């Protein structure tokens, strides 16, 4: 576990970013990331007025990362947001094996990456006042795996009062990639691949310490590239520890569902084309023919995601997913099929989990504000090699941390329309960080009014520039998609789990059954037929709704 830094008694010159924590090269053709195990650092940007800010400046602590596998806060310069009057802090944390290796005991407890983040929160609470910040006004903001991390901290009993607001961007604890299902199995598998075959945790850890960083990452890469996310090293519910050491004593989804956590204001949302990041991670897809893409879609993408959701590889479920996604692409056109693959990953990995988490959050007594970022033609953090018309995973940061990040990533300055949009977007975020409400004080609203989400209406706001606001489009939260992934498919899964009746000679044990021993089975059969009929009706209704919305949703792709 992390430990407190002993401090220093000399001037610390912090003019450059430290190295990132050890990780894989996630996105092909991206510049390599400078890495080192000595990576647990904070970065702080303060406005010039911070030290004179009456009562202390509001603070935002930012967490990022992709799938708890990779990430580098050096990608996100915070000075342009700090200019708006808030102190911006970003924190690194250990990733993959180094942050989440877990043998489900006190020796290899897991969740080290989350504990790194927790120590960053403690450091901010104890020291940010020296930078002009208010330790009683800390907002925790996260993106992707960082957003899932934020929700882990929200549901942990250890973090009460350390932060008072959260911003959750493009990530959830209800995502299939956000938590470990078999942490000890996956961790032992990595250890075995490195020749660490001992049974005791102490001996396994001693063996791993003799391996280089590169060897450990290669062993993890073998497991990761196999695509079996049910055997990944990720955050874990740690009830195997003593109560005083537990960080996640309950499943976060159950905590959110029960409402048994300290509720605070939340700003949350997604971009329109989140699944682009998954397509980017498989860079060879961009060069494949239609037939190659079709084979990947049906034989790799769909089975992998079904496994993430805990769905059996039943033919019925696979056929529904084929009908909903690849079958609707124009036959023989690779770009159309790639658009459907992007939609598939967006729905399964981001939109549906976001809707599940939003359903829990909307019952909170504290204000919840929801957005969808849809800046058509926006660059992204990965070079926009897909050339999509919508907003990919992370596109909003080019405007939140711009113009510096736009120039650094896309190599260009804002257009006048983008400049106005960037200023407006930063004001929404800064007003929330300051007041817990993205609506600015007074009557001026930047042309947009934010209303609180309720269970009946999430009141989603579509975020786009002034020029693009002229295009008629609502803030659709794809409730039909959420119904498909969160309700219909799990129900169909239950129908596939059947057990044959035991072969028992009932008549010999009870002569009263000999006259009509088939009656109980006949009744059960009629009941099952009725149940299947009801589910089929539900399936038809869902498919009609999905087909109704398909053309509208397809219009936003490419």
CATH architecture of 19-251: 3-Layer(aba) Sandwich (3.40)
425-436 per-position pLDDT tens digit: 999 999 999 999
Length reported for the chain: 558
Q: In the prediction, which pLDDT does 248 show?
A: 97
User: What is the mean predicted confidence (pLDDT) over 487-497?
Assistant: 84
Residue 529's pLDDT band, with cuts at 50, 70 and 90, is: low
Residue 545's pLDDT band, with cuts at 50, 70 and 90, is: low
Mean pLDDT (the chain, rounded): 86
Q: In the prediction, which pLDDT does 43 show?
A: 96
Residue 516's pLDDT band, with cuts at 50, 70 and 90, is: very low
Higher pLDDT, 189 or 181: 189
499-510 per-position pLDDT tens digit: 444 443 333 333
**Residue with structure tokens 């990944």?**
232
Q: In the prediction, which pLDDT does 429 show?
A: 98
Q: In the prediction, which pLDDT does 511 show?
A: 36
Domain map of the chain by residue range? 19-251
User: What is the mean predicted confidence (pLDDT) over 321-326?
Assistant: 96
Q: In the prediction, which pLDDT does 384 show?
A: 62
Q: In the prediction, which pLDDT does 1 show?
A: 87
Query: In this structure, are strands 42-45 and 87-91 parallel, antiparallel, or unpaired?
Result: antiparallel
Q: How many CA within 13 A on the CB side of residue 101?
A: 20
Mean pLDDT check: name the lowest of 246-260, 270-284, 285-299.
Answer: 270-284
66-113 per-position pLDDT tens digit: 999 999 999 999 999 999 999 999 999 999 999 999 999 999 999 999
Residue 522's pLDDT band, with cuts at 50, 70 and 90, is: very low
Calculate what percentage of the chain has a pLDDT beyond 70.
Answer: 82
298-319 per-position pLDDT tens digit: 999 999 899 888 887 778 899 9
Residue 283's pLDDT band, with cuts at 50, 70 and 90, is: confident
Just list the catalytic residues. 144, 274
Q: How many CA within 13 A on the CB side of residue 11?
A: 2
**Three-class secondary structure of residue 180 per DSSP:** coil
330-342 per-position pLDDT tens digit: 999 999 999 999 9
Is pLDDT of 151 > 50? yes
Q: In the prediction, which pLDDT does 498 show?
A: 54
Helices (H), 195-263: 201-208, 213-225, 252-258
Most confident of 271-280, 359-368, 524-533: 359-368
Residue 378: CB partners within 8 Å, gap ≥ 6?
Answer: 390, 391, 392, 395, 398, 399
Q: How far apart are CA 41 and CA 1, in angstroms?
A: 15
Residue 549's pLDDT band, with cuts at 50, 70 and 90, is: low
């Amino acid at each position: 576990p992390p430990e407190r830094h002993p401090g220093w008694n000399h001037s610390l010159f912090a003019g450059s970013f430290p190295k990132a924590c050890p990780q894989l090269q996630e996105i092909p053709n991206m510049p390599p990331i400078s890495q080192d195990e000595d990576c647990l650092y904070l970065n702080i940007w303060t406005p010039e007025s911070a030290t004179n800010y009456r009562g202390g400046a509001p603070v935002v602590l930012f967490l990022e990362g992709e799938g708890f596998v990779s990430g580098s806060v050096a990608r996100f310069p915070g000075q342009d947001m700090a200019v708006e009057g808030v102190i911006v802090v970003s924190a690194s944390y250990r990733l993959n094996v180094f942050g989440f290796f877990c043998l489900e005991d006190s020796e290899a407890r897991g969740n080290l990456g989350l504990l790194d983040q927790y120590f960053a929160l403690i450091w901010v609470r104890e020291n940010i006042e020296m930078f002009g910040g208010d330790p009683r006004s800390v907002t925790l903001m996260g993106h992707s795996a960082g957003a899932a991390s934020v929700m882990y901290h929200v549901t942990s009993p250890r973090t009460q009062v350390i932060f008072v607001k959260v911003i959750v961007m493009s990530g959830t604890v209800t995502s299939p990639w956000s938590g470990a299902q078999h942490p000890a199995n996956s961790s032992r598998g990595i250890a075995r691949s490195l020749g660490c075959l001992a049974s005791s945790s102490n001996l396994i850890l001693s063996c791993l310490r003799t391996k280089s960083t590169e060897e450990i990452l290669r062993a993890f890469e073998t497991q990761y590239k196999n695509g079996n996310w049910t055997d990944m090293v990720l955050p874990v519910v740690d009830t195997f520890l003593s109560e005083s050491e537990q960080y996640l004593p309950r499943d976060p989804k159950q905590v959110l569902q029960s409402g048994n956590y300290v509720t605070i204001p939340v700003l949350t949302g997604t971009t329109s084309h989140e699944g682009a990041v998954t397509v980017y991670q498989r860079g060879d897809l961009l060069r494949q023919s239609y037939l190659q893409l079709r084979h990947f879609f049906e034989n790799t993408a769909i089975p992998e995601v079904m496994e993430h959701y805990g769905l059996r590889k039943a033919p019925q479920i696979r056929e529904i997913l084929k009908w909903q996604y690849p079958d609707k692409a124009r036959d023989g056109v690779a770009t159309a099929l790639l658009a459907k693959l992007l939609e598939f990953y967006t729905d399964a990995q981001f939109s549906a989990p976001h809707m599940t988490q939003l359903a829990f959050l909307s019952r909170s007594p504290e204000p919840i504000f929801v957005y969808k970022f849809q800046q058509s033609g926006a660059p992204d953090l990965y070079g926009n090699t897909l050339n999509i018309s919508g907003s990919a995973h992370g596109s909003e940061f080019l405007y939140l941390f711009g113009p510096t990040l736009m120039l650094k990533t896309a190599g260009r300055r804002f257009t006048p329309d983008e400049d106005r949009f960037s200023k407006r977007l930063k004001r929404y975020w800064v007003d929330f960080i300051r007041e817990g409400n993205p609506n600015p004080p007074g009557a001026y609203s930047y042309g947009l009014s934010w209303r609180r989400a309720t269970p009946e209406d999430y009141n989603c706001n579509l975020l786009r520039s002034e020029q693009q606001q002229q295009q008629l489009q609502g803030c659709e939260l794809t409730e039909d998609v959420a119904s498909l992934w969160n309700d219909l498919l799990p129900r169909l899964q239950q129908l596939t789990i059947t057990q044959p009746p035991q072969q028992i000679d009932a008549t010999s044990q009870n002569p009263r059954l000999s006259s009509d021993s088939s009656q109980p089975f006949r009744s059960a059969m009629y009941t099952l037929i009725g149940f299947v009929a009801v589910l089929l009706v539900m399936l038809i209704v869902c498919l009609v709704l999905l087909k109704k919305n398909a053309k509208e949703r397809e219009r936003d792709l490419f």
